[in-house]
A and B are shown apart, each in its own frame.
Chain A
Amino acid sequence: MNKNDIIQSDRRIESGEPLLELIDLKTHFKTERGLVRAVDGVTLSLKRGESLGVVGESGSGKTVLSRSIMGLLPSTAVKHGSVKFAGQDIVGFSAKQMRHLWGAEMSMVFQNPLNSLNPLMKIGKQITEPLKLHLGMDKATATATALQLLRDVRIPEPERRLNQLPHELSGGMRQRVMIAIALACGPTLLFADEPTTALDVTVQAQILDLIGEQRRDRNMSVILVTHDLGVVAGHTDQIAVMYGGKLVEHAPTKTLFANMKMPYTKSLMRSIPKLSDPSHTRLATIPGRPPDLVNPPLGCNFAPRCMYALPKCHVEEPPLTPTADPKHVYACWYPVGSPEFEKRDAELQATGYMPEDFSAVS
């Protein structure tokens, strides 16, 4: 990608076209066991400045999805479909071509700040590296910019930090440094892959607020990957719920919380402990394991674990269906609110949502 292309893509973004558009994106891994369908046909789009939450359990394909978009996958990965970034299809880009986008146009904050910073490189150098690389800054300008970035992410005593090594900083501070690195070159798209999972609860909110604030200041799009619906609730414009490599529900954040359609989304919601629960309330869990992505179930991926599944669910895969709001789609034969669902829910309520014997189906 040369400079002219980038300028052109900037114009496209201004004209209101989506910054990122995924059309039927599939990422498969060749393994000895067979083809792992880690991401299996995801379609969504994101405008500049918007934020998207990608939610799902471990193994739902949410991390692979974000790395597929960015092109940061091992060589065993095979991608199909299309990833349009600023109007350009980048799905077939080589690592060499992607390198001009990495750090410059799109960047990533990783889950574990303890391991994501080079333990033997000074903080200052880690921040100035992309500045010199993409923006051609000299050492003095890059250092001054790094200092400003450290202030932006509200790290105390930024001058001192430049010459410190990661192990001299706390986890929360390291994640702030990671964010500073990711923001360094002013990317238009930021991926945050479980950015708060490894952090203290008190620090979590600060980091999420920081990302949100930087998104607004820089008119940057954010893709927030998490297993925690609570995290995305206050920090995203739209939410994509993933299960077994597929989108199972996708809606603007407010719509989703007001009107969940997919029993899986509902289960995720229910598994968040509530303050109003009396002490020692048993935590609600989703029984069973995520599906085997080499041999996915015949029908709905979630059917083997779904308390509401009916025979049809086990044989026929539900398509993504729009609700009255076309932005809200879901993949379920008997969504929340349907007569079949309500009937089953009434039965379950009687047993306190504890199914008699789930081992038979999971």
Chain B
Amino acid sequence: MRYWLQRLGVAVALLLAVSALTFGAMNLLGDPLFNILGPTSASTLPEDLEIIEAAKAEYNLDDPLPVRYVKWGSAFVTGDFGVQFSVDGQPPVSDLIKERLPRTVMLLIIAQTMAVLIAIPWALFAASRADKAVDKVSTVTSFLFIAIPNFGLAVILKYLFSLKWSIFPLIFNAADPFWTRVWQLVLPAMALALPVASVYQRLLRTDLITTLQEDYILTARSKGVSKRNVLFKHALRPSLFSFITIFGINTGALLGGSLIVEQIFIVPGLGTAIVEAILREDFPVVLAIVMIVTTAFVVINVLVDLLYSLIDPRVRAS
């Protein structure tokens, strides 16, 4: 119980720090008024001054920075993410998020699922043949996928599977039915999943090789358990720790990767939204997305902690 209170405290502190840093940086580096009004912000014409005053009032721009942060923060926690800096302020940030978030979440879920489904059998295969020719080929393959930049892989996949062989659809269409949209996200997800799967595979393979040298693996073999079942029933579970740790941490990295992949596959998700918002210096949108990503990261890592104790009941005791 005390442990979970501590975790909660850390999570809140993290969210405060991230929001304060982002809020501060964006306001200090840019000029919010200019970003809202464009060239009008520097005008001295009386009719423009009225607009400027109105904008200042709407966005609390006359308040000192800490006050504005508190005002933004207290609105944010009630679900009011503010208005966009775009000319008419429409749609509100929360509507934009509501539209974009599900696509990115779906993309990441497909990507992580794929990565896990690829990594586990691959690692089992490689670890059971450690240092043999197939394992060496698999090592080179995994390093290839890790080394190749995200956008490079995305372009290659798009070219091969969409343009050349037409296996996967070329575009994402928000108007299509749910499963069609899921299908449209498979290729972008693959571009995200392959490098991540390779990292998972490297890690899991190493841990599996260590586990396979444990005495209890010999015990299992001496009971007559088949090689396959030794791997699946005895070796896999104790080898999952670093894998799930990196799984949690990677969720953040994958969100970063999705920025590029969404651009290449033209998926109007959170990634595209934040890229557009940064280019426009649209602070409320950037802040909202940063906060969502941070929250997701914190939540997923708490889930990973829970997963530890599910995998190894000894964690619960300590």
| A residues adjacent to B (C-beta < 8 A) | 70, 72, 95, 99-104, 107-108, 110, 112, 115-121, 129-130, 133-134, 165, 167, 178, 181-182
| B residues adjacent to A (C-beta < 8 A) | 214-216, 218-227, 233-234, 237-238, 311-314
Q: Looking at the complex, which one of A112, A130, A167 makes contact with B223 (CB distance below 8 Å)? A: A130
Total number of A-B contacts with CB less than 8 angstroms?
Answer: 70
Contacts of A129 in B (CB 8 A): 220, 223, 225
How many whole Å from A122's CB to the nearest CB in chain B?
A: 10
Q: Are A102 and B224 in touch, CB under 8 angstroms?
A: yes
Contacts of B227 in A (CB 8 A): 95
Given A95-B227, A120-B238, A120-B312, decide whether A115 and B222 contact each other with a Cβ distance below 8 A.
Answer: no
Q: Looking at the complex, which one of B219, B224, B225, B238 makes contact with A178 (CB distance below 8 Å)? A: B219
Contacts of B221 in A (CB 8 A): 72, 95, 102
27 A-B residue contacts at CB 8 Å? A72-B221, A95-B221, A100-B224, A102-B221, A102-B222, A102-B223, A102-B224, A103-B223, A103-B225, A108-B222, A110-B215, A115-B216, A116-B215, A116-B219, A117-B216, A118-B220, A118-B234, A119-B314, A121-B233, A129-B220, A129-B223, A130-B223, A130-B225, A133-B225, A165-B313, A165-B314, A167-B314
Q: Are A121 and B234 in touch, CB under 8 angstroms?
A: yes
Q: Which 10 A-B pairs have the closest CB atoms?
A: A103-B224, A102-B224, A115-B215, A103-B223, A130-B223, A118-B216, A116-B215, A108-B222, A99-B224, A116-B219
Q: Are B219 and A117 in touch, CB under 8 angstroms?
A: yes
Contacts of A182 in B (CB 8 A): 222
Bound-state CA distance A167–B227 (Å) is 25
Bound-state CA distance A35–B226 (Å) is 30
Bound-state CA distance A118–B222 (Å) is 13
Bound-state CA distance A181–B221 (Å) is 12
Given A120-B311, A120-B312, decide whether A110 and B224 contact each other with a Cβ distance below 8 A.
Answer: no
How many whole Å from B310's CB to the nearest CB in chain A?
A: 11
Bound-state CA distance A129–B220 (Å) is 9
Q: Looking at the complex, which one of A72, A100, A120, A121 makes contact with B222 (CB distance below 8 Å)? A: A72
Q: Are B219 and A110 in touch, CB under 8 angstroms?
A: yes
Q: Are B215 and A119 in touch, CB under 8 angstroms?
A: no
Contacts of B311 in A (CB 8 A): 120
Bound-state CA distance A95–B226 (Å) is 9
Q: Are A72 and B216 in touch, CB under 8 angstroms?
A: no
In chain B, what residue has the closest Cβ to A102? B224
Bound-state CA distance A43–B214 (Å) is 31
Contacts of A165 in B (CB 8 A): 313-314
Bound-state CA distance A118–B312 (Å) is 11
How many whole Å from B132's CB to the nearest CB in chain A?
A: 9
Contacts of A117 in B (CB 8 A): 216, 219
Contacts of A133 in B (CB 8 A): 223-225
Bound-state CA distance A167–B238 (Å) is 14
In chain A, what residue has the closest Cβ to B234? A118
Tell which of B221, B233, B238 has the most Cβ of chain A within 10 Å. B221
In chain B, what residue has the closest Cβ to A131? B223
In chain A, what residue has the closest Cβ to B236? A120
Bound-state CA distance A32–B39 (Å) is 75
In chain A, what residue has the closest Cβ to B227? A95
How many whole Å from B81's CB to the nearest CB in chain A?
A: 44
Given A72-B218, A115-B215, A119-B314, decide whether A107 and B223 contact each other with a Cβ distance below 8 A.
Answer: yes
In chain A, what residue has the closest Cβ to B132? A75
Bound-state CA distance A171–B11 (Å) is 41
Contacts of A134 in B (CB 8 A): 224
Contacts of A70 in B (CB 8 A): 222
Contacts of B238 in A (CB 8 A): 118-120
Q: Are B234 and A115 in touch, CB under 8 angstroms?
A: no
In chain B, what residue has the closest Cβ to A129? B223
In chain A, what residue has the closest Cβ to B235? A118
Contacts of A103 in B (CB 8 A): 222-225
How many whole Å from A2's CB to the nearest CB in chain B?
A: 15
Bound-state CA distance A99–B223 (Å) is 8
Bound-state CA distance A119–B214 (Å) is 11
How many whole Å from B127's CB to the nearest CB in chain A?
A: 14
How many whole Å from A85's CB to the nearest CB in chain B?
A: 14
